Every structure is written in structure tokens, then in C-alpha cells.
């Protein structure tokens, strides 16, 4: 549904529907749940007796369902419509993720819970983002930025929510974090009335337009992989690094929150700029600045630590809505699947790489592993240069 406002006689400008606000808040909650555990990694490592290498592997394991299944979930959602992907995904993700933090007795059980909770996350993302793209009319970059900002703010507040709940209620009290997500799932059941309709089948998905999209998707995929590798490695390694430095648990949570909060501003800024200049300049600038800023953060002290991680978040997350809109433009007839392919496969491969970063950290330390990550960010620049401008 697209609403419009009148600017002068005979002039109407499309703007996002009011429903995008509900999708944005649902995205805020949905993305908070997979990001509750990193700020508590030092606590979980002691409680469940696992190493820094296994801690890095958690992100890779979670991505197997959270990210890798998104293309299939998106294609499925395109074909059948319904409310179950958004509503059920949020409900399952919230209850499983919070319960695992509170009660999982071992690393193996916690991994299993991450995989099941990831199914909910994978169901929510492609369908919700495709619907927001339709609701946003001609201002897709800006509309998607608001939606993505919900996810960024959710990731930003997740470390604070997790550590504050842990400090006041203890580990077993973390189950209460499931309540907001379950409540919002019920709200979305009513917001999504009538249910989204299935996309009309137009024969095989293997169309000329689809093949053209695949031809240009490879370069975008590499960019997404390296961007997610950097963001997930930072999210995983910073709490571990701060623990080895004997810094307070709340301080590492505040650092992650700063990363994501300023990153939400970068997300909106990047989306708005890309509407004017295209995705390529934003992607190149993001990679170069993120590499420099990550290196600065690792060697900063005092207030410079907070400035550098905030600016890192701004640069790193400025591409979130850019790659989403670009992916949907590559596959205009299958936008749910496009969102899944862009974020699902790309983020899965990036998260799998974090397992290697964790192994590297066990040998040379968290600082050396993140320095390597900063160098890898620069590898994405040649692939950004090769991107072709699709017709949306």
C-alpha cells in the first residue's frame, strides 16, 4: 500500500505507508535477538566451558539458518504470501533465543537453540523487507533505510538489554527478554490484515531477467561477504578483547551499542546518498573508511576509543540499505528471494569467515585477528568498482 501527499495542484508524491513503522519496530525486535549473546560471551564461555575459537564459531553456526536459508524463505514467501513468515518468524526467534541464553546447559545445546532461533530470523527478513520495498514507492532507498535502521537500533540496544538483565536478574532471568518479541508478533498478526497475497507465477524462475541478475550478483555478493565478515568479527571479538583487558562487562556492551547506534545514522545517510549518486560510491567509501577506522579503534585510547568505534559503525553500516535495494533491483520479479540472496547468502559466507577469525584470534590474539579483518575490507573495493547499475 502506498500513500501520497499533495504538493501543489495536480502534484502527488509517493511516500511510505504508515505500516512501514510497524515493520520497522518489528525489525528492531527481530534483529535484537540474534545479538543478545555476543555481549555475554565472556559469561557464557565460563558457564559452558568453551574456548575463544568456539566463540568465534558461534557466528558461523548461527548463520547456517539465520542467513543461509533466507533466499529459500524469500522465494517461498513470494509464492505463498500469508502473515506466517513475519509473525511466526518473530515469535519463534524471540522465545528460542532468550530461553537459550537463560537455560542452555552446554555449548551443544546452545548451538542447537541458535540454529532453531535462526529459522525464525530467516523467515522474517526477506518477506518483511520485500513488503517494505513495495510500501516505499519510488523512495525505496529512504524507505529501506528506515526499515534497516530498526534492525540497527535493535542490534544496538541488544547488548545493553542483555547485560542489564543479566546484572539484575542473573542468567536464568534472561528469559524475560522474549516477552517484547512475542507481544509484537501478535501485533503484526493484526497489522498484516489482509494477508499479503501470493506473487503470480510466471512460469519458471529461470527467466532471462533472472539470469541477467545472477550475472551481476557475484560482485555484490563479495562486497556483502566482506562487509558482514567485518561487522560480525567486530561484534564477536570486542567483548572477548575487553574481557582479556579486564574491563567491565557493561563497558564492552556500551561499545557495541555505540557501534550500532551511530551505525543506524550511517545506514540512513548511506541510503539517502545512494538514491542520488548510486550504490558504487557509497560502497567504496564505506570499505575504505571502515578499514581505517577499525585499525584506529584497535590502537586508540581514552575518548578516542569511543569516537573511533562510533565512526566505524557509521561507515560500516552505511551500506545496509544500499545492498538491499541493489539486490532487489537485480531481481525485480522475485524481491523476497533477492533480499534473501543479498543478505542471506552473503551474510552467511561472511559469518562463516568469522569462524576463521576466531581460530586466528586463538593464535595471534583478538587485536591481530581484527587487524587482518581491516585489511580484508579493502579487498571489496575492486568488486564494488565492477558493479553495474541495474534498472529497478
Of how many residues is the chain composed?
392
Minimal CA–CA distance to 24: which of 117, 111, 147?
Answer: 147
CATH of the domain at 197: 1.20.1250.20
Q: How confident is the model at residue 271 (pLDDT cuts 50, 70, 90)?
A: confident
Domain span at residue 380 reads: 16-385
Average pLDDT of the residues in 144-159: 81
The reply to whether 392 falls in a domain is no
pLDDT of residue 208: 56
The reply to whether 390 falls in a domain is no
Candidate from 141-155, 201-215, 237-251, 348-362 with smallest mean pLDDT? 201-215
Specify the residue for cell string 542520488. 276
Q: Is a pLDDT exceeding 80 seen at residue 337? A: no
Tell which wins on pLDDT, 192 or 13: 192
Average pLDDT of the residues in 344-348: 72
Average pLDDT of the residues in 217-233: 86
How far apart are the C-alpha atoms of 210 and 196, rounded to whole Å? Answer: 23
How far apart are the C-alpha atoms of 384 and 270, rounded to whole Å? Answer: 15
The reply to whether 284 falls in a domain is yes
Average pLDDT of the residues in 6-35: 69
Minimal CA–CA distance to 292: which of 320, 315, 264, 259?
Answer: 315
The reply to whether 58 falls in a domain is yes
The reply to whether 5 falls in a domain is no
Average pLDDT of the residues in 333-348: 64
How far apart are the C-alpha atoms of 353 and 96, rounded to whole Å? Answer: 25
pLDDT of residue 160: 92
The reply to whether 63 falls in a domain is yes
Alpha-carbon distance values, 87 to 91, 100, 186, 205, 256 (Å): 6, 20, 7, 26, 28
- Indicate the Cα dihedral angle 76, 79, 80, 82, nearest 10°: 80
Q: Is residue 1 within 8 Å of residue 135, measured between CB atoms? A: yes
Domain count, the chain: 1
The reply to whether 268 falls in a domain is yes
User: What DSSP assignment string belongs to 121-174?
Assistant: HHHHHHHHHHHHHHHTTT-HHHHHHHHHHHHHHHHHHHHHHHHHHHHHH-GGGG
Q: Among the ranges 258-267, 282-291, 317-326, 343-352, which has the highest mean pLDDT value? A: 282-291
Q: How confident is the model at residue 4 (pLDDT cuts 50, 70, 90)?
A: very low
Show the 3-state SS of 369-384: HHHHHHHHHHHHHHHH
pLDDT tens digits, one per residue of 89-133: 899 999 999 999 999 999 999 999 988 888 888 788 767 777 776
| Cα 8 off chain centre by | 39
Give me the chain's average pLDDT, please: 80
Average pLDDT of the residues in 8-37: 72
Per-residue cell: 106: 552446554
Single pTM value for the model: 0.74
Q: What percent of the chain has pLDDT over 70?
A: 77
The reply to whether 110 falls in a domain is yes
Amino acid at each position: 500500500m502506498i500513500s501520497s501527499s499533495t504538493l501543489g495542484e495536480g502534484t502527488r508524491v509517493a511516500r511510505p505507508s504508515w505500516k512501514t513503522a510497524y515493520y520497522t519496530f518489528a525489525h528492531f525486535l527481530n534483529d535484537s535477538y540474534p545479538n543478545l549473546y555476543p555481549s555475554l560471551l565472556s559469561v557464557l564461555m565460563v558457564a559452558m566451558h568453551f574456548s575463544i575459537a568456539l566463540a568465534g564459531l558461534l557466528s558461523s553456526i548461527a548463520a547456517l539458518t539465520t542467513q543461509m536459508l533466507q533466499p529459500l524463505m524469500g522465494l517461498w514467501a513470494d509464492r505463498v504470501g500469508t502473515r506466517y513468515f513475519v509473525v511466526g518468524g518473530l515469535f519463534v526467534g524471540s522465545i528460542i533465543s532468550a530461553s537459550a541464553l537463560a537455560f542452555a546447559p552446554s555449548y551443544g545445546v546452545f548451538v542447537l537453540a541458535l540454529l532453531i532461533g535462526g529459522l525464525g530470523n530467516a523467515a522474517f527478513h526477506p518477506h518483511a523487507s520485500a513488503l517494505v520495498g513495495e510500501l516505499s514507492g519510488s523512495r525505496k532507498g529512504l524507505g529501506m533505510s528506515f526499515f534497516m535502521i530498526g534492525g540497527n537500533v535493535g542490534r544496538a540496544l541488544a547488548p545493553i538489554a542483555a547485560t542489564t538483565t543479566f546484572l539484575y536478574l542473573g542468567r536464568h532471568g534472561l528469559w524475560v527478554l522474549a516477552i517484547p518479541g512475542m507481544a509484537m508478533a501478535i501485533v503484526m498478526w493484526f497489522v498484516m490484515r489482509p494477508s499479503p497475497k501470493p506473487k503470480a507465477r510466471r512460469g519458471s524462475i529461470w527467466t532471462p531477467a533472472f539470469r541477467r541478475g545472477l550475472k551481476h550478483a557475484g560482485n555484490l555478493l563479495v562486497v556483502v561477504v566482506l562487509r558482514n565478515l567485518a561487522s560480525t568479527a567486530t561484534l564477536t571479538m570486542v567483548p572477548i578483547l575487553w574481557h582479556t583487558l579486564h574491563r567491565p562487562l557493561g563497558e564492552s556492551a556500551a561499545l557495541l551499542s555505540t557501534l550500532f547506534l551511530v551505525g543506524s545514522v550511517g545506514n540512513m545517510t548511506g541510503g539517502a546518498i545512494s538514491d542520488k549518486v548510486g550504490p558504487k560510491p557509497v560502497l567504496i567509501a564505506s570499505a575504505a573508511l571502515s578499514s581505517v577506522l577499525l585499525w584506529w579503534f584497535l590502537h586508540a585510547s581514552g575518548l578516542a576509543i569511543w569516537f573511533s568505534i562510533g565512526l566505524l559503525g557509521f561507515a560500516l553500516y552505511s551500506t545496509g540499505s544500499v545492498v538491499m535495494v541493489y539486490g532487489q533491483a537485480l531481481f525485480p520479479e522475485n524481491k523476497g528471494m533477492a533480499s534473501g540472496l543479498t543478505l542471506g547468502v552473503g551474510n552467511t559466507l561472511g559469518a562463516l569467515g568469522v569462524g576463521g577469525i576466531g581460530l586466528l584470534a586463538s593464535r595471534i590474539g583478538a587485536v591481530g585477528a581484527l587487524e587482518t579483518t581491516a585489511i580484508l575490507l579493502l579487498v571489496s573495493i575492486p568488486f564494488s568498482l565492477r558493479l553495474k547499475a541495474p534498472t529497478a
